[in-house]
């Protein structure tokens, strides 16, 4: 049997914003338990503020959404079979990569517009890189897409996406999200973490540069 795929998110933000938290919860839910989701480089003080679904092993075993903590992705450097999901990579991820990689590393970074290439900080570890097409995705979307490609064997260009969706609040107000999302097959809507629309709505009155 092929080894199970493991998803590593290297936390790269200073604190842990509500946006990031909702993404991590969505990832934990999507990836499931059994040592498949690693959230790395979290300061101990941040760990204290995480909801139990992300840290409590008791909850983890009963809800099967555990997060296993590694000190950092540098622990994986030099191990082989590790893929960095890198918007700057020259090669796109393909279903055959399931035979090449077991570990998939992502930047735990808020999406930004225009992108600042903070994923570049992870390139220094020498991981082989793969791109998920030319458009920036949120971290939870990137993991969703990698799972579809390597676990479900769906090529990148056969996945249905919603690009830069406009979230409409009323007749006069809307917010455009400058990212690519996976399309929900039933509703046609972009798949976003639970609670994310409400958070965006609350923030839409404030003006912002950084998004999830």
Applying CB under 6 A, which residues contact ligand SAM? 85-87, 106-107, 109, 111-112, 115-119, 131-133, 135-139, 142
In terms of CB distance, is 8 or 60 closer to ligand SAM?
A: 8
CB of 126 to ligand SAM, least distance (A): 16
Largest CA distance in the chain: 54
Q: How far is the CB of 76 from ligand SAM (least distance, A)?
A: 14
Closer Cβ to ligand SAM, 131 or 147, answer by number: 131
CB of 87 to ligand SAM, least distance (A): 4
Token pair for residue 36? 């498949």
163 has which bridge partners?
A: 180
Nearer to ligand SAM, 65 or 139 (CB): 139
Beta carbon of residue 114, minimum distance to ligand SAM (angstroms, whole number): 8
Question: How far is residue 67's CA from residue 41's CA, in Å, rounded to a whole number?
Answer: 12
Give the residue with the Cβ less far from ligand SAM, 121 or 194. 121
Residues 6+ away with beta carbon under 8 Å from 96: none
- Which lies closer to ligand SAM via its Cβ, residue 81 or residue 118? 118
If the CB atoms of residues 40 and 60 are measured against ligand SAM, the closer one turns out to be: 40
Q: What angle do CA 23, 25, 28 make, to 5 degrees?
A: 110
Residue closest to ligand SAM (Cβ): 107
Min dist CB 57 to ligand SAM, Å, is 27
Terminal CA-to-CA distance of the chain, rounded, Å?
36
Min CB(92)–ligand SAM separation in Å: 8
């Amino acid at each position: 049997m092929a080894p199970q795929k493991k998803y590593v998110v290297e936390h790269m933000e200073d604190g842990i914003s509500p946006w990031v938290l909702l993404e991590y919860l969505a990832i934990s839910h999507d990836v499931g338990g059994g040592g498949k989701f690693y959230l790395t480089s979290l300061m101990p003080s941040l760990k204290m503020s995480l909801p139990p679904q992300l840290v409590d092993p008791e909850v983890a075993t009963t809800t099967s959404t555990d997060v296993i903590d590694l000190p950092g992705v540098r622990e994986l450097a030099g191990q082989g079979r590790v893929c960095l999901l890198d918007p700057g990579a020259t090669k796109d991820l393909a279903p055959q990569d399931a035979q090449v990689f077991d570990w998939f590393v992502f930047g735990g970074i808020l999406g930004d517009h225009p992108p600042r290439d903070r994923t570049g900080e992870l390139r220094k570890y020498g991981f082989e890189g793969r791109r998920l097409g030319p458009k920036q995705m949120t971290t939870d979307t990137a993991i969703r897409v990698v799972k579809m490609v390597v676990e479900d064997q769906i090529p990148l260009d056969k996945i249905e996406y919603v690009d830069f969706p406009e979230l409409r609040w009323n007749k006069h107000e809307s917010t455009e999200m400058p990212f690519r999302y996976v399309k929900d097959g039933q509703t046609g809507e972009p798949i976003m973490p639970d609670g994310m629309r409400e958070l965006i709505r609350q923030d839409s009155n404030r003006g912002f540069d950084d998004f999830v």
